Structures are given as C-alpha cells and as structure tokens.
Amino acid sequence: MSSTGLEVFDKTLQTTNIWLNGIGETLGPDKQRCYHAMRAVLFALRDRLTPEQAFHLSAELPMLIRGIYWEGYRPTDKPDRQRTKEDFLEAVNSHIGNIQPMNVEDATTAVFRILAEHVDPGEAEKVKQNLPEPIRVMFP
C-alpha cells in the first residue's frame, strides 16, 4: 500500500531517505542534521557550477532532492569563484543555518560521497573535474 497515494512520491521519499541515511553514516542518525548538511552542500556546489553544469547535475537527482537543490537559485553571476577548500567550506557553512556545531568538511565529504554513489558515474566525474583541485579532493 502506498503511503502517499502516489508511487512517484513514495519512491522519491524512499530514495531521499536512502541518501540521508548514507550521510548519517558520517554525521550521525539525526535526519534533521543530515538534511541541513545535504542542502547546504548542494547549494554551495550548485552555486560553484555554471548554470549549464548545475542543470546537468540536477537531472541526476531524485525528484525531492532536485527541488531542494533549486530552492532560491539565482543564475546571475554564477558560478561562484571559490578556489580554495576553505572558501568552499565557508560557503557550505553559510547555508547550514542553526544546525551547529557541525564539522563542515565531514558534511561536505559525506554529501560528495553520496553524490558519487548515486548519480551517473560520468556525471559525477564531470562535476568533480569542474571543481578546482583544492575542492575536488573532498570528492571521492
């Protein structure tokens, strides 16, 4: 029996929970923290990519996560130009909000790992290669 009455919604909820549980392997089982970490890293990554690259990545995301990914997006002046790991982590931190303290580097590597595990390997590699080396090293 469907919990929402729509199979497509049930599937995206199930997939989103799989992603959050995967992030929780690093950050702990609190799904609220895992959600905020995922959202913050996806925002920083999306803003670091060109709009075209951001759209290609979004096509690989589950429907619910895709909606989170595009929340508040403004394509003007993109991509952001963080060149260092510290600058990228600061961008992630600025999106985390009131879910502190959180190790932002652990959150970033956990979300990057989930992306690498669940999106098309070719697309994951393109995303990785479009990041500067200091940021790329956090991607598996």
Output the DSSP codes for 74-125: --TT-S----SHHHHHHHHHHHHTT--S--HHHHHHHHHHHHHHHS-HHHHH
Q: How many helices (H) and strands (E) does the chain have?
A: 8, 0
What percentage of the chain reaches a pLDDT higher than 90? 91
Of 15-24, 77-86, 92-101, 121-130, the one with minimum mean pLDDT is: 92-101
Q: What is the pLDDT of residues 61-81, one digit of tens each?
A: 999 999 999 999 999 989 999
Query: What average pLDDT does the segment 107-119 reach?
Result: 98
What average pLDDT does this structure show over 9-28?
Answer: 96
User: Does the pLDDT at position 1 exceed 80?
Assistant: no
State how far the Cα of 49 lies from the Cα of 52, in Å rounded to an integer.
8
pLDDT higher than 60, residue 48: yes
Q: Quote the CA–CA distance of 108 and 136 in Å, as a whole number.
A: 11
Tally of CA atoms within 13 A in the half-sphere of 84 that contains its CB: 3
- CATH architecture of the domain 7-136 equals Orthogonal Bundle (1.10)
- pTM of the full predicted structure? 0.95
Domain boundaries, the chain: 7-136
Q: Residue 50 — pLDDT band, cuts 50, 70, 90?
A: very high
